[in-house]
Each structure stands twice: as C-alpha cells, then as structure tokens.
C-alpha cells in the first residue's frame, strides 16, 4: 500500500544547499576546473565514460565534479543524460586493427611484428608513494624515438594462419541493443559483450578473478592488449556514404585460452574478447576472461556450475546503476511497509503467547 506523505521540502532544500557547500570544500583551496579533471584524472574520466556508456570526456569530468568524485554517482549522471540524446544512428564497427597504438603488448609472443610497446603504464613501477608529486615537482617530458609506422597486426592472426585458434566469423548482423530492449535470457554473445563493456569494473574483475582461482578455469593468456585511438565512421544518410565523425580511445584485450577440445570442437585455442572505452586495461582483461567463461555452451564445455558461467547471474548483476538503484532505495522511507511488518510480528507473538497459555491451562 502506498500512502502519500508530504513534508520535508525545507529539509531537502537545505540538505542540497549544504551538499553544494561541502562539494566546494575549503574556500581557501582553489576550485578545480573541468579541464583539470579531464586532463589530470583521466582514468577516472575513462571509467565514467565506459560504465556511463557515453564517450564524452567533458561531460564525464563535469559528472565527477558534481558527484564529488563518487564515480558510481557520476556514472548515474551520465546514464541519465545519455537517455536525453536523440540517437542519430550506429557507427560502422571500429577497426581496431588500424588503431594508432600508445600501448601494445603480448604475453604469448615475445617477437611479434611491430614489437612490444609499453606505453604510459603503471607496470614495473614500484608502487611506492612519490612524495615529489606532493611537493608539486611534477615534470619530465616523455622520451621520443623515430616511429616506424609499421602495421601492428593482431596476434591472433598468426595462430589463425595455422588453424590453431577458433576463428571469428565476420558478419554484418545488427546486434541487439540493451539500451533499447530489456535484457532477456538466453542472451547471445553480442549482448553479453555490450553488458560487460558497460558493467561495473569491480564486479567484472571479481568474476574474472573467480575463473582464475578455479571456478570455471579456462587458462587465459593475454594474447594481446592494445590501447590507442580509433576513428569512428558512420554512414551519413544525407550524403549516402560513410564519413569519420570522431575518434575515440579504446582498450582491446584478446585472450588465448587453452582448450582440450570437446564433444563438438577439435583441440585448439579459443578466444575471449574485451573492448572498453578509454584506457582501461584491467577492465578489458577482465571482460575477456568473463566473455570466455560465458561461452561454455557454444564451445561444448561442461557447465560446472560456476558463477562466471551463469550468464543470468553475471549480466543481471554487472550493471552498477541498476544495482545501486535497487540497493539504495531501501534507505528511502518504507514507513508503511515496515508498519505492516511490525503489526504482523506483534500478531504472531500474541498468538504464540495465547497458544502457550492455553496449553498450560
């Protein structure tokens, strides 16, 4: 039963005014600009774009500022904004083969064409706090070396040539879109990938970790991880041909997984795939591992009952906005609900007491 309750407007207005004051913090400290957030907290911006499912760094920076750095709140703001945008159409699939790579590494082939390019990575840092940063002494320019401009082919292509890895069959089928139709099960792989790429990084990471620890283990190697910029092309109806309408940074991970063969497939390597907006390699690797675990059925593997194999479990819980919406609503007034529970418990206790006293007589 719902009962309309009025009141609290003044308290809410004042709470919001105080929130604005707290957001600004100490007035003696300079206010942060959106440009500063975009440029200096770029990985937070990337995460908000990826999970908000909208690539716009300025909007993500605004959302981070407005949410006081609460990234899930920021993602919520982006998702809400996204729904107000008219949809102009869909792009052609991005050509990650053509990516202008800042980073490209392989854990399976040491001497791959184009080489191992580390890029601006945290890897190999000592994870010691750098007190020079606290003392404002940030500087240092990146070293440069002549760029060869050599193509960087996908690592899985080498295995493809020998037929040692499962092939990806190209198609132009229109993929399902969970921003347009509600998620239904069984989901196909395009829908799973869309759900994972916008899923919560922590959740997808934990699911991936569970497969490494033995819950549907699939022995993943990072065949290739690349980060860089790709052009976005779209067929423009008024022109009748495709033009580039923008450029986005992407992280792509392809895993190469051990596979013994099954009832339906020969022994060969199989693949997991991760593709995420921005520089987000933890997320991209996690996505690839979970994608691979969810493919058990098409590869004829056994369902060992692990959480990461259960698409309904994974996809229904990957979205942090759905999760936080349902979780946080329980703090809002439930006075009437609770009143009825209270009545019920009192009634049950009274009946039990009555029954006991009757039995004693």
The residue within the footprint of another protein, chosen from 13, 21, 168, 328 (CB under 8 A), is 168
Partner residues linked to 226 by β-bridges: 104, 252
Span 4-23, contacts to another protein by CB under 8 A: none
Residue 301 binds another protein, judged by CB under 8 A: no
Whole-angstrom distance, CA of residue 359 vs CA of residue 336: 35
Residues 6+ apart with CB under 8 A from 12: none
Span 124-143, contacts to another protein by CB under 8 A: 142-143
Candidates 38-46, 227-235, 261-269, 333-341: pick the segment binding another protein (CB under 8 A).
227-235
Candidates 13-21, 49-57, 214-222, 299-307: pick the segment binding another protein (CB under 8 A).
49-57
Whole-angstrom distance, CA of residue 304 vs CA of residue 300: 12
In the bound state with another protein, the residue whose beta carbon lies nearer, of 7 and 182, is 182
Residue 27 binds another protein, judged by CB under 8 A: no
Residue 232 binds another protein, judged by CB under 8 A: yes
In the bound state with another protein, the residue whose beta carbon lies nearer, of 41 and 49, is 49
CB of 324 to another protein, least distance (A): 19
The residue within the footprint of another protein, chosen from 41, 48, 54, 308 (CB under 8 A), is 54
Residue 96 binds another protein, judged by CB under 8 A: yes
Whole-angstrom distance, CA of residue 35 vs CA of residue 39: 6
Residues 6+ apart with CB under 8 A from 158: 109, 112
Residues 6+ apart with CB under 8 A from 263: 300
Span 241-280, contacts to another protein by CB under 8 A: 243-248, 250, 252, 254, 271, 273, 275, 277
Residue 34 binds another protein, judged by CB under 8 A: no
- Cα distances from 25 to residues 21, 32, 74, 90, 136, in angstroms, run 6, 11, 18, 42, 21
CB of 243 to another protein, least distance (A): 5
CB of 5 to another protein, least distance (A): 38
The torsion angles phi and psi of 272, rounded to 5 degrees, stand at -125, 150
Whole-angstrom distance, CA of residue 144 vs CA of residue 7: 63
Evaluate whether 112 touches 106 at the Cβ level (below 8 Å): yes
CB of 224 to another protein, least distance (A): 9
The torsion angles phi and psi of 184, rounded to 5 degrees, stand at -130, 155
The residue within the footprint of another protein, chosen from 234, 306, 317, 322 (CB under 8 A), is 234
- Residue in this structure with the two tokens 């039963």, named with its chain if needed: 1
Residue 172 binds another protein, judged by CB under 8 A: yes
Residue 123 binds another protein, judged by CB under 8 A: no
Whole-angstrom distance, CA of residue 193 vs CA of residue 256: 17
In the bound state with another protein, the residue whose beta carbon lies nearer, of 79 and 282, is 79
Residues 6+ apart with CB under 8 A from 108: 155, 221, 222, 223, 224, 256
In the bound state with another protein, the residue whose beta carbon lies nearer, of 51 and 310, is 51
Q: Is 356 exposed, middle or buried (0-12, 13-18, 19+ CB in 10 A)?
A: exposed
| CA 259 to chain CA centroid, nearest Å | 26
In the bound state with another protein, the residue whose beta carbon lies nearer, of 258 and 353, is 258
Candidates 6-14, 94-102, 261-269, 351-359: pick the segment binding another protein (CB under 8 A).
94-102
Q: Give the DSSP H/E element, type plus range, for residue 27.
A: none
Contacts with another protein, 193-212, as mask; x by CB under 8 A: xx--xx--------------
Span 103-122, contacts to another protein by CB under 8 A: 103, 110-111, 115-120
CB of 276 to another protein, least distance (A): 8
Count residues binding another protein (CB under 8 A): 81
CB of 36 to another protein, least distance (A): 17
Residue 79 binds another protein, judged by CB under 8 A: no
């Amino acid at each position: 039963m719902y009962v309309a309750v009025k009141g609290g407007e003044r308290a809410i207005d004042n709470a919001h005014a105080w929130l604005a004051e707290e957001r600004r913090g100490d007035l003696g400290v300079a206010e942060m600009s959106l440009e500063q957030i975009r440029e200096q907290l770029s990985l937070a911006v990337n995460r908000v774009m990826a999970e908000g499912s909208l690539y716009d760094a300025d909007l993500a920076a605004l959302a981070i500022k407005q949410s006081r750095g609460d990234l899930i709140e920021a993602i919520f703001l982006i998702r809400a904004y996204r729904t107000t945008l008219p949809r102009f159409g869909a792009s052609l699939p991005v050509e990650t083969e053509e990516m202008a790579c800042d980073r490209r590494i392989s854990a399976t082939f040491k001497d791959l064409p184009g080489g191992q390019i580390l890029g601006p990575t945290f890897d190999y840092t000592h994870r010691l706090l750098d007190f020079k940063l606290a003392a404002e002494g940030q500087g240092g320019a990146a070293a440069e070396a002549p760029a060869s401009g050599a193509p960087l082919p996908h690592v899985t292509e080498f295995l493809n040539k020998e037929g040692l890895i499962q092939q990806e069959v190209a198609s132009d089928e229109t993929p399902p879109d969970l921003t347009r139709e509600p998620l239904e099960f069984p989901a196909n792989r395009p829908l799973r990938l869309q759900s994972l790429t916008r899923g919560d990084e922590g959740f997808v990471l934990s699911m991936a970790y569970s497969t490494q620890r033995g819950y549907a283990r699939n022995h993943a190697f990072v065949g290739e991880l690349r980060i860089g910029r790709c052009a976005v092309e779209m067929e423009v109806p008024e022109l009748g041909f495709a033009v580039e309408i923008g450029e986005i940074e992407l992280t792509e991970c392809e895993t190469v997984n051990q596979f013994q063969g099954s009832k339906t497939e020969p022994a060969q390597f199989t693949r997991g795939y991760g593709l995420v907006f921005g520089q987000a390699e933890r997320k991209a690797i996690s996505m690839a591992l979970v994608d691979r675990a969810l493919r058990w059925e098409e590869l004829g593997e056994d369902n060992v009952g692990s959480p990461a194999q259960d698409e309904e479990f994974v996809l229904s819980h990957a979205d942090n906005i759905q999760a936080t919406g349902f979780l946080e609503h329980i703090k809002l007034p439930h006075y009437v609900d609770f009143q009825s529970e209270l009545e019920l418990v009192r009634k049950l206790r009274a009946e039990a007491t009555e029954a006991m006293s009757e039995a004693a007589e």
